[in-house]
Amino acid sequence: MYRSWDQDNNYIYGAAIGLTPLIIIQSCKLLKCPITAPETVYQTQRSMGKMFDKYNLTWILPVDFRFYYMLRLHFCNIIPQYTKRSQVVFKIFVNNKTAVEEANLFYGSRGSGYPVFKDYIVFVNDPYGKRSIQIFLLAVHPNRNSELYLDAYLNGLEVFKLSVDKTC
């Protein structure tokens, strides 16, 4: 697929922007898995930092109403301390609703430094009939059940607008 990738600075909601570590991880880890995003996407990450308790790390996207969108969330932990399963467990919210209560990503991948993605399909409603641009929110927040670290992170986000065949 032909896609372009932007930095997320323009899509961060609010003043709490978290941390953006950049770590060149061993590319061998990536090569063992099918790569669905460029390496740079996996080598950069936005995480919550020390103020994790006070906010949701939130991205805001303009979308068109009455369309389905597929969100593909790319994760690849690059924070060296996070090495084991269940050490970092976090919540994922899509449009203020809980999409995942306990994202424990090392279960979906081979561990820290290995890429994994999650897909969600959402319908963007036009609840007030205004036919205006709708705003879409994606947020992450630590889950208290995390065994060692309270944090949450995201490496990349893809948004696919799905066409609606109105004749069906």
Residues that bind ligand NAG in the complex, under the rule CB under 6 A: 55-56, 93, 96, 137, 139, 141
**Between vectors from CA 140 to CA 152 and to CA 62, what angle results, nearest 5°?**
135
Q: Closest approach of Cβ 55 to ligand NAG, in Å?
A: 5
Of 52 and 106, the one with the shorter C-beta distance to ligand NAG is: 52
In the bound complex, what is the minimum distance in angstroms from residue 88's beta carbon to ligand NAG?
Answer: 17
- With CA atoms as reference, report the closest residue to 11 among 63, 69, 65: 63
Whole-number Å distance between alpha carbons of 137 and 84:
29
Residue nearest to ligand NAG (CB): 96
Burial (CB count <10 Å: 0-12, 13-18, 19+), residue 113: buried
Cβ-based nearer residue to ligand NAG, 76 or 94:
94
CB of 29 to ligand NAG, least distance (A): 31
Closest to ligand NAG by CB, 3 vs 97, is: 97
Whose Cβ is closer to ligand NAG: residue 11's or residue 55's?
A: 55
> Do residues 61 and 6 lie in contact, with contact meaning Cβ atoms separated by under 8 Å?
no
Kindly report the length of the chain: 168
Q: Nearest distance from residue 63's CB to ligand NAG, in Å?
A: 14
> Both tokens of residue 7?
């930095």
Residues linked to residue 162 through DSSP beta bridges, in sequence order: 68
